[in-house]
Structures are given as structure tokens and as C-alpha cells.
């Protein structure tokens, strides 16, 4: 099939395709999602087939307002109203226990819970309103590979496989939403996947405990939320994380080994590595905000076959604030592998 690039004035046409069971990717403030009508199991099945995604991996249901969530949930966590008021629309996914048989098992991963999000992107909110149905929206990429942050990334993976992509430009955050488990109203909220909405931010607003589940799901386990697999977001080229103090040794290693190395880093490290690295994806600034926004784009750019890289070296940041989400995605991209500097 031909995959059409839709623009703002063509949202109605894209919405009609979704109503009919076709797949249309859409932009959010985090990454692009692969949209399908959440109420049509056969459409949702196509999402798994197109992505090559295991069917035990639950999907996030995207809504245009909180009223849509009430169609599937009746027993809300007592903090729900406060959370929705402060963080929706935004990069926060909420998991609730749902009414029996209100969503097909293919949406929930056969769990008794489901994940919901109201994205902070007006084009996609309008798309959902026009379609008149909630949309599942896992990242619009081949399963396990870096998530797409532009419409071009979507087309790279999905051209000829889906009906279209709504082009909303480059995403603003670049890493997927925080996933917060509210499925047990008697327990504190639990972060299952870190994102731009941090534990510290949630606790400050909610004035209560918010726990973090750091468990990484093995291939044989069923995840409670997307993005919990041990290795994920990974290009074909091996990724290595580099501690800030190890870049000089990394430069020496690349020089002496003759490895074709790619580098994803801010201006300071990019300048250090630019003569020995085979390819450099330079971030505009040495900040975790820019690193998070550019990580997936950098991994995609340096994984192109014509570069024939042996390894991609990536700048790391402290695991505080947004750094928690950034290091979570980078760690999974690298399969937890670091460049190992030799002791003097």
C-alpha cells in the first residue's frame, strides 16, 4: 500500500481511515505513535503484525479527554482527579483496573488493567476527536528499535505497511511518557517506566509517596507496561555508554583499534571525537534535555548501513530528573553495556 503523509488540513481524512480500521501514525510531545482504533480488535492486531511486536506487550490507549477513560474504568485511585488536573494533557500514562471485557485482550495484553494517556499535541487530540474513538498508539517503529521522533522516521520503518502518518514535525521531549500505575486504589502510585514527569515532580504535586518499580522484564515475562523489557530501543549497531571521565580513553581506543565508531554527544565531546570518529551526531547543547530529545534520532542516523559502524558511543548523564528517563532508554539501547576504560 501507499503510505500517505497527512497534514493539519487533512485530519478528517486520516480520522476516517482510523474509524474504518486502518493504521495511521500520529505525533505526540514524546514520540510518534502507531494509531489504530482501540475498539476494533482486528485493527489492533495489525499493529502487532506491522511492528513485529509480541502480543503480551500491552498498548497505551490515547484519549482526547478524561471522559473517554470513564467508559472503561469505574474504580479510580483517589489521587486520579489531582493527577489528571495537573498532568493531562502531557507525557504521563496512567494504568487503571478496567471493567471486565471493556477492552479486547489484544489491547491489554490479557491483563485486567489498561494504560491511558492524553497526549499534549493539538493535532493528535483533534485526530482522536474527529475519529470519535480512543486510539492505541505504541511507538510507530519496528519493535525493539529506536522510537521515531519525526514523520520521516515513521516512514523509514512503516512505509508501505500503514495507511498514513500525520506529520506534526519533530517531537519536543524525545523519550516516551512516564507510566504510573494506579490500578490498586489502596496503594501509593508506582512508576513503571520513567519519563519527563519525574518521581520528584509527582511527589511535590501530589504531596504523597510515589514509588518506583525498577524491575526489568525478561523475554519470558509479561510486562505490566510498555518499555519494561531488558533490551529495547536498540539499533543494529552495538551501543556503548561512556562515563564522562572516560572519553579520553575512548578516543585512544578508537584510534588504536581502527574501529569505525559513531558518537552521540554534545559540542564538547563531539569536538574531542570528531577527527577519529567515523560519524558524529552532535547535540545542540551539553544538557540532558537535548540528549533526551536527540537520542533516538541519533541512534537512527548512525545506524544507517552505508556508515558501516562497528560501535556507537553515547554520552551519559547523572540519573536525576530527566536523566532517569534518558539513562533508562540509553541503557536498554546498549543492553546495559559500557565502554570499559583500562586502569592506568
User: How far does Cα 227 stand from its chain's mean position?
Assistant: 7
Distance CA 148, CA 170 (A): 9
Peptide bond preceding 277: is omega within 30 degrees of 0, i.e. cis?
Answer: no
Distance CA 176, CA 117 (A): 11
First to last CA, the chain: 58
Distance CA 303, CA 179 (A): 28
Domains of the chain: 4-212 (3.90.870.10), 238-333 (3.40.50.11030)
- For 39-101, the three-class secondary structure string (H helix, E strand, C coil) is CCHHHHHHHHHHHCCCCCCCCEEECCCHHHHCCCCCCCCCCHHHHHHHHCCCCEEEEEECCCC
> Hey, CA dihedral for 260, 266, 272, 274, is it positive or negative?
positive
pTM over 0.75: yes
> Hey, CA dihedral for 229, 200, 168, 8, is it positive or negative?
positive
Q: What is the dihedral of CA 29, 40, 5, 61, to 10 degrees?
A: 0
Residues near 21 by Cβ (< 8 Å), separated by ≥ 6?
36, 37, 40, 42, 43, 46
Full pLDDT tens readout for the chain, 344 residues: 899 999 999 999 999 999 999 999 999 999 999 999 999 999 999 999 999 887 778 999 999 999 999 999 989 999 999 999 999 999 999 999 999 999 999 999 999 999 999 999 999 999 999 999 999 999 999 988 999 999 999 999 999 999 999 999 999 999 999 999 999 999 999 999 999 999 999 999 999 999 999 765 555 556 666 656 546 788 999 999 999 999 999 999 999 999 999 999 999 999 999 999 999 999 999 999 999 999 999 999 999 999 999 999 999 999 999 999 999 999 999 999 999 987 65
Amino acid at each position: 500500500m501507499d503510505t500517505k503523509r497527512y497534514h493539519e488540513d487533512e485530519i478528517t481524512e486520516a480520522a476516517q481511515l482510523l474509524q474504518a480500521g486502518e493504521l495511521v501514525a500520529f505525533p505526540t510531545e514524546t514520540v510518534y505513535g502507531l494509531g489504530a482504533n482501540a475498539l476494533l480488535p482486528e485493527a489492533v492486531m495489525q499493529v502487532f503484525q506491522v511492528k513485529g511486536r509480541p502480543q503480551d506487550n500491552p498498548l497505551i490507549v490515547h484519549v482526547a479527554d478524561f471522559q473517554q477513560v470513564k467508559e472503561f474504568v469505574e474504580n479510580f485511585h483517589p489521587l486520579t482527579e489531582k493527577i489528571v488536573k495537573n498532568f493531562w494533557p502531557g507525557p504521563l500514562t496512567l494504568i487503571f483496573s478496567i471493567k471486565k471485557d471493556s477492552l479486547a485482550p489484544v489491547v491489554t495484553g490479557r491483563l485486567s488493567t489498561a494504560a491511558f494517556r492524553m497526549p499534549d499535541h493539538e493535532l493528535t487530540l483533534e485526530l482522536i476527536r474527529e475519529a470519535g474513538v480512543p486510539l492505541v498508539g505504541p511507538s510507530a517503529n519496528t519493535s525493539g528499535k529506536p522510537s521515531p521522533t519525526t514523520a520521516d522516521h515513521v516512514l523509514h520503518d512503516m512505509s508501505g505497511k500503514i495507511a498514513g502518518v500525520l506529520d506534526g514535525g519533530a517531537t519536543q521531549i524525545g523519550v516516551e511518557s512516564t507510566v504510573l500505575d494506579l490500578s490498586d486504589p489502596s496503594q501509593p502510585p508506582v512508576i513503571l517506566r520513567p519519563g519527563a514527569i519525574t518521581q520528584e515532580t509527582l511527589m511535590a504535586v501530589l504531596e504523597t509517596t510515589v514509588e518506583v518499580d525498577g524491575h526489568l522484564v525478561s523475554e519470558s515475562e509479561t510486562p505490566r507496561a510498555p518499555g519494561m523489557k531488558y533490551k529495547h530501543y536498540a539499533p543494529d549497531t552495538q551501543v556503548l555508554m561512556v562515563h564522562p571521565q572516560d572519553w579520553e580513553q575512548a578516543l585512544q581506543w578508537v584510534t588504536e583499534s581502527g574501529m569505525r565508531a559513531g558518537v552521540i554527544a554534545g559540542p564538547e565531546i563531539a569536538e574531542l571525537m570528531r577527527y577519529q570518529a567515523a560519524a558524529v551526531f552532535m547535540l545542540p547543547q551539553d544538557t540532558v534535555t537535548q540528549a533526551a530529545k536527540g537520542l533516538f534520532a541519533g541512534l537512527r542516523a548512525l545506524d544507517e548501513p552505508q556508515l558501516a559502524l562497528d560501535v556507537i558511543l553515547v554520552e551519559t548523564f547523572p540519573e536525576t530528573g530527566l536523566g532517569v528517563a534518558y539513562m533508562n532508554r540509553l541503557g536498554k539501547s546498549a543492553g546495559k553495556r559500557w565502554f570499559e576504560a583500562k586502569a592506568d
